[in-house]
């Protein structure tokens, strides 16, 4: 068992991480052969004298080490929180009132594409400002839509000329 305590700007959260030992002897279908760990996180959150508890279970293929399991759980939520926060702040995802399932899914895909293009753009601006600039300047919008990000641009062969498109 591994226990962590986080004291942020208010609530105190205690997490207890546990994993089952070696699962190699446990019979399972071919679909689950790669899964070699089962983990549990018990979270206790204390805020303003109120205590809430939550238990979450995980199945994974990262091995049975409790420290690796704890790191994987925390890093997963960091990625999730960062993406959803950015989508809500920059693209106002939570304000969308579309209710039809297909339309919601289509808009989510478009938002993820837009977020990817904005994050990969080398302009030194925040995501929200880049979005606004794309709405104001057609040239910048064209750059976002049609130019490959710097990491994906093909490198010219050695000895290529320095002549630009002009």
List C-alpha distances in Å: 3 to 15, 17, 18, 66, 84: 6, 6, 9, 10, 27
Name the pLDDT band for 138 (thresholds 50, 70, 90): very high
Compute the residue count for the chain. Answer: 166
Global pTM value: 0.49
14-23, 83-92, 111-120, 130-139: least confident range: 83-92
- Which pLDDT belongs to residue 120? 85
Burial of 85-109, coded b for 16+ CB within 10 Å and e otherwise, reads ebbeebbebeeeeeeeeeeeeeeee
Task: Give the residue extent of every domain in the chain.
Answer: 1-95, 97-149
**Separation CA 47–CA 13 (nearest Å):** 9
Give the mean model confidence (pLDDT) for residues 141-152. Answer: 80
pLDDT of residue 17 exceeding 80: yes
**Separation CA 77–CA 89 (nearest Å):** 18
């Amino acid at each position: 068992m591994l226990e962590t305590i986080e004291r942020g700007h208010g609530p105190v959260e205690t997490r207890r991480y546990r994993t089952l030992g070696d699962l190699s002897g446990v019979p399972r279908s071919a679909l689950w052969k790669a899964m070699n760990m089962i983990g549990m996180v018990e979270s206790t959150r204390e805020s303003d004298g109120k205590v809430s508890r939550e238990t979450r279970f995980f199945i994974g293929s990262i091995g049975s080490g409790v420290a690796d399991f704890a790191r994987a759980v925390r890093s997963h939520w960091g990625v999730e929180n960062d993406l959803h926060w950015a989508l809500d702040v920059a693209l106002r995802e939570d304000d969308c009132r579309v209710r039809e399932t297909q339309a919601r899914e289509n808009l989510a895909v478009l938002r993820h594409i837009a977020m990817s293009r904005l994050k990969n753009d080398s302009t030194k601006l925040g995501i929200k400002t880049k979005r606004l600039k794309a709405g104001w300047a057609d040239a910048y919008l064209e750059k976002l839509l049609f130019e490959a990000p710097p990491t994906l641009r093909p490198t010219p062969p050695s000895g290529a000329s320095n002549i630009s498109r002009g």
